[in-house]
Amino acid sequence: MQRVVFADSWEQFFSRHDLESFGDFFEYTPVETIGINDRRNVVTFSLGEDSQKKQFFMKRFFHPHFKDMFFTWRSFGKLCSQAQCEWENAKLLLDNGIETYRPVCFGERTKWGIEAKSFIVTEKLPGRALTDFVRQNWHNLQRQEKEKIITGMGNFIRRIHALDISLPDLYVWHIFLKENTDTKDYDFAVIDLHRMSRNVTNRNTQIKNLGRLHHSMVDKYFDEELKRSLIVSYAGDNRDGDINTLALQVKKFSDAVSAKRNPKPY
C-alpha cells in the first residue's frame, strides 16, 4: 500500500509538475543530493519559473530499522513511517510557535502495515543555516552582536524544552538563523526532527540536548564565555539549580560526545 498526503493546496501545485504518486516523488531525478547515509538521503530541487519558482528539500527514508519503528510506536502509540513522524513533529512545533521547516507533503509505502520506504518534502526555510552564517560572518561581528545571537539561541531552546520536547539531534548545523529587520533581532528555527521526542520531562535528557549543542560549538568561533552565555540565557529566570552546576553537567556530556567523535567542521 502507498499514499501521499499533501498540506493545504500543494496537491494541485505538484500535480502541475507531474508529481502525484509515491513513485513520482521517490524516484524524482532532477535533484541535488546534499546528505546521504545507508538509511536515508536528503535532496533539494526546484519547481516553477521566475518569480513562481520554489525550492524544496526532500528527505527519503530507505529500509527503516526496527529501533526506528519502536521509536515511532513509543512516540505515537502506533506504527508510523519515518516521514509521517517528521511531519507530525514539524506540525507540533509550528502549532506551538517554534519555527521549523514547513512540510508540504509526505508519502509512504507499507507492506502489511510496516513501512518499506517513505519521504517528506518541505519548503526551503528563510534565512541561513547557523553554520553558514558563522563561517561567513562571525569574525567580523561585534562582541555584542555575538552575545545577542547566543542569548537568543538559549531562549529558543528553553521554549522548546518548556513544551516537554527533546531534540537529540540539536547541533549548530541543525539551527537556522534569520535577522528580523523590524526588531533588529534574530529569529531561530530548528530542523532534523525525525528523532524528536514528546512528553519528555527528564532533566538529564534536556542536559544531553544542550551537551550535543555545546559539542558542536567549535572553539574556532565560540569561546568559553559565549558557551556560558548560552547556558545562562537557557536557564532564564527559572534558576532552581545553580548555573555553575548546570554548566558543568552540560560540559561533562559535551566532553563525552567529543571523546567519541569530532564536531563537524564548518
CATH of the domain at 151: 1.10.510.10
Domain, as residue range, for 115:
2-123
CA separation, residue 201 to residues 19, 165, 191, 211, 252 (Å)? 41, 8, 21, 16, 20
Q: Would you state the pLDDT for residue 127?
A: 87
Residue 65 pLDDT > 80: no
3-state secondary structure 65-117: CHHHHHHHHHHHCCCCCHHHHHHHHHHHHHHCCCCCCCEEEEEEEEECCEEEE
Which residues face 185 on adjacent strands? 180
**Are residue 108 and residue 208 in the same domain, yes or no?**
no
pLDDT 10s digits, 81-118? 889 999 999 999 999 999 999 999 999 998 887 888 99
When pLDDT is averaged across residues 188-194 and rounded to a whole number, the result is 94
Q: Which residue, 60, 90, 123, sits at the end of a domain?
A: 123
pLDDT at 73 over 60: no
Residue 14 lies in a domain: yes
Task: Tell whether 266 is covered by a domain.
Answer: no
Asked if residue 240 has pLDDT above 70, the reply is no
75 or 213, greater pLDDT: 213
Q: Which CA distances in Å does 88 have to 21, 79, 124, 197?
A: 21, 13, 18, 11
Domain boundary, last residue among 123, 150, 173: 123
3-state secondary structure of 141: coil
Residue range 215-237, pLDDT digits in tens: 999 999 999 999 999 999 999 87
One domain for residues 135 and 227: yes
Q: Which of residues 123, 141, 174 is at a domain's end? A: 123
What pLDDT score does 13 carry?
A: 96
Indicate if 245 and 132 belong to the same structural domain: yes
Whether residues 189 and 69 fall in one domain: no
Residue 265 located in a structural domain: no
Name the domain count of the chain: 2
139 and 117 housed in the same domain: no
In terms of domains, do 107 and 133 share one? no
pTM of the model: 0.90
Judge if 159 and 38 occupy the same domain. no
Which three three-digit cell numbers place residue 106?
509526505
pLDDT score, position 50: 81
Give pLDDT, residue 24: 97
The three grid cell numbers given for residue 94, joined into one nine-digit string:
509550528
What is the predicted pLDDT for the residue at 131? 96
| Phi then psi dihedrals of residue 4, to 5 deg | -130, 130
Does 28 have pLDDT greater than 70? yes
Residue 202, pLDDT score: 94
